[in-house]
A = this chain, B = another copy of it.
Amino acid sequence: MDEPRWLDEQQDRAWRGYRRMRRLLDLELARELMQDAGLSEPDYDVLSDLSETPEQRLRLSELADRMLWSRSRLSHHISRMQQRGLVTREECATDGRGSVVVLTPAGRRAVEAAAPGHVAAVRRHLIDRLTPAEVAALGTLSQRVIGHLTGRPEAEG
């Protein structure tokens, strides 16, 4: 085992900063979302993904892949959201094993009520704190890291 290459001062600052920002942002955004809309972040993400879909419905596995969740986790979470009337399950017409998650009217109202405030919070705590160059850099850098972690399906600079 070679001598480990530790992080230099700039790199350490970036890594620690990233993690602290991450944690603080999470806590604050989750807090506001719950207070203002009665939704957890996972709830919001599910509803948001569903609502961006043409038919307001997605195969369970398709939704799980988009969210980078395990099927098990999504299945449990959907059960809970179903209890609250935000989504329903339907059988899949083309695959007897399959399950389709469908946004209910109540679910749609919930996201629509939550979205403006949530976007505002994202702006207030993150986007509006950044210069346009930083926003661009964050986007670019994220894409590159994502590409690396997913076997770079897109070209890398």
Contacts and interface: CB of A to CB of B under 8 A. Distances in A.
Interface of A: 1, 4-7, 10-11, 13-15, 17-18, 20-25, 27-28, 68, 115-116, 119-120, 122-123, 125-127, 129-130, 132-146, 148-150
A24 B68 contact: yes
A123 B5 contact: yes
A138 B6 contact: no
A5 B119 CA distance: 8
Contacts of A138: 14, 17-18, 137-138, 141
Contacts of A27: 68
A126 B1 contact: no
Contact of A145 (B25, B146, B149): B25
